[in-house]
Amino acid sequence: MRILVALSGGVDSAVAAARLVRDGADVVAVHYRTGVAAEDPAAPVRARSCCGVDDARDARAVAARLGVPFYVVDVSDAFRRDVLDAFVADYAAGRTPNPCIACNQHVKFGRIEDFARSVGAEAVATGHYARTAPRPGATTRLLRAIDPTKDQSYVLYGLSEAQRARARFPLGATTKAAVRDEARAAGLPVAAKPDSQELCFVPSGDHRTVLFHLDPSLRRPGPVVDAAGRELARHDGAAGFTVGQRKGLGVTGAAPVYVTEVRPADDRVVVGPREALLRRVVRTAPLHWVDVSPAEGLARAPWRVEVRIRHAAPPVPATLDVAPDGAATVTFDAPVFAPAPGQALVAYDGDAVLAGAPIVGSSAGDPPAGG
Catalytic one of 50, 51, 100, 103: 103
Catalytic one of 50, 51, 100, 200: 200
CA 328, CA 315: separation in Å to the nearest integer? 17
User: Is the Cβ–Cβ distance between 341 and 95 less than 8 Å?
Assistant: yes
Active site residue 50: no
Q: Which of 302, 293, 312, 265 is nearest to 355 (CA)?
A: 293
Rg (CA), the chain: 22
The Cβ of residue 275 has, within 10 Å, a number of other Cβ atoms equal to 10
Buried b (16+ CB within 10 A) or exposed e, 114-133: ebbeeeebebbbbbbbbbbe
Q: CA-based diameter of the chain, in Å?
A: 66
Active site residue 103: yes
Cα angle vertex 200, ends 215, 174, to 5°?
150
- What is the full DSSP assignment across 50-66? TTSHHHHHHHHHHHHHH
Q: What is the identity of the amino acid at 240?
A: G
User: Active-site residue numbers?
Assistant: 103, 200
